[in-house]
Structure 1
């Protein structure tokens, strides 16, 4: 079986690459589980200071792999397990003592966009296209973004992005603050590495503590938001109309 996530440590930087390029790195259970393992391994490694999350091929990640949707959500138990696995990635990123950089290019959709938002810094290539498709086919967002983006953007803009589900370009992400910086695609990984080196030049404990302090202060209702998202997403997965719309989409 092909590895869905590849992790390599270069000095103090762990490079974690989503590796299903033929499916635009779409999320299936293998990818999610291997990503969780890679993040946990980086967290446990005292030599690692920064994690860079990126995607192989033409995209960062195109969201849920709809070909596998039935297998992952055929029952309430399966749907609960799938959504909790996705949410666990958000917790691993946001509760990590390491700084996590998202290096995003091509499509960044749905759950993958939510993971990117969970990261501490988000570098977008100039060819990035992103949107929240979930509500369009009767599902729900994850990653705590109902709390995170509402606080960052305000209720109206958050509703616009999640309810209307329109596709946006990289410039829009920068305008909203979803992207930290835009760079040409060819320079994306180099820019992520330069940022990582800047971070590793600073004291490890201070960097870790400031991340924790900011996240705990800003995201005080994250767990409540994610608990609601989990129940809402499971309900969506179990609705025949949502399943049919997802397949059609």
Structure 2
């Protein structure tokens, strides 16, 4: 049985692949545990200078599996703790010293877009569909998206994207400042690889410290954002709208 997350390292470029295409690479318990373990491994490796995160199949990541999250809530002692555990397992990307690149080959919806936003850089396919559609499902946002997205697109545009929950294209993601590059599907691999290799060619310690300095300058506090989002999601998960949203997924 294949691992939920694959890790490969070649020429100083590490690639993390969400490897459950039959489950739309959703944030499920087995995937989040393997993802966190692979990220922890990367922290200790000196042969990886940059990390690419991608999804296998046609979807980057469809976000949290809320049905699985309900089961986790029973085991974790409540929905708030389950939300923290799920999203926190992916936000550990922020703790990596290496720069991270999201290679968004397909849909990145809800927490899936949050995973892309947890990376430092994003290269998206023009065929990809993205969105923070939490409110359409009856939830408040998660994955620290309320912290990251306004800092990329501005408060006004972030408010529009959150309130409407609309889905947008890879091309619009680039125009909004969410993506560094939006390229044709057939050019995605080459563009991402070129960017990764260019970064890998820089001095690793200098890059790691520069990354640290950038986030200090932005006063980045994903943990605080996640804690508040977890409280809000736990409340909205109990509503009729959220229950209908889960059944409609």
In the superposition, the TM-score normalised over structure 2's length comes to: 0.92
How many residues matched? 249
Determine the structure 2 residue equivalent to 1:231.
231
Q: Would the aligned equivalents of 1:76 and 1:234 in 2 still touch at CA under 8 Å?
A: no
Equivalent pair of 1:104/1:125 in contact (CA under 8 Å)? yes
| 2:130 alignment counterpart | 130
Q: Counterparts of 1:216 and 1:91 in 2: how far apart (Å)? A: 16
Cα distance, 1:105 vs structure 2 = 1.4
Where in structure 1 do 4 or more consecutive aligned residues deviate above 6 Å? none
2:213 equivalent to 1:208:
no
Contact 1:86/1:111 (<8 A) preserved: no
The answer to whether the Cα contact below 8 Å between 1:95 and 1:212 also exists between their aligned partners in 2 is no
Measure the CA separation in 2 of the matches of 1:108 and 1:230. Answer: 20
User: Distance in 1 between the 2:71 and 2:178 partners?
Assistant: 32
Deviation track 1:61-104 (CA, whole Å, cap 9, x = no partner) reads 11123453432345772423431223324532122101111000
Distance 1:183 1:135 in 2: 29
Aligned-pair distance for 1:174? Answer: 0.5
Retained in 2: the 8 A contact 1:140–1:232?
Answer: yes
1:80 matched to 2:55? The reply is no
CA distance in 1, matches of 2:76, 2:33: 19
- Which residue of structure 2 aligns with residue 30 of structure 1? 30
Q: Which residue does 2:188 correspond to in 1?
A: 188
CA distance in 2, matches of 1:83, 1:136: 18
Offset from partner CA, 1:166-216 (integer Å, 9 cap, x none): 111111101111011012212222222211111111111110011111112
Change (3 A) 1:2 1:68: farther
2: CA distance, partners of 1:219 / 1:86: 23
Residue 9 (str. 1) matches residue 9 (str. 2): yes
Q: What is the aligned partner in structure 2 of residue 93 from structure 1?
A: 93
Q: Secondary structure at the match of 2:60?
A: coil
Distance 1:106 1:127 in 2: 7
Q: Which residue does the alignment assign to 1:64?
A: 64
The answer to whether the 8 Å contact 2:9/2:47 transfers is no
Distance 1:2 1:82 in 2: 25
Q: Please show how residues 91-170 of structure 1 align to structure 2 within 5 Å.
A: 91-170=91-170
- Which residue is equivalent to 2:44? 44
Whole-angstrom distance in 2 between the partners of 1:179 and 1:5: 23
Q: Is the 8 A contact 1:4 1:20 kept in 2?
A: yes
Q: TM-score, normalised by structure 1?
A: 0.92
Give the RMSD, CA atoms, in angstroms: 1.9
Q: Secondary structure at the match of 1:60?
A: strand
For 2:208 and 2:109, how far apart are their aligned partners in 1?
A: 28
Could you tell me how far apart the structure 2 residues matched to 1:221 and 1:38 are?
23
What is the distance in 2 between the residues matched to 1:235 and 1:31?
25
1:138 Cα deviation from its structure 2 partner: 2.0
Asked if 2 retains the 8 angstrom alpha-carbon contact of 1:73 and 1:238, the reply is no
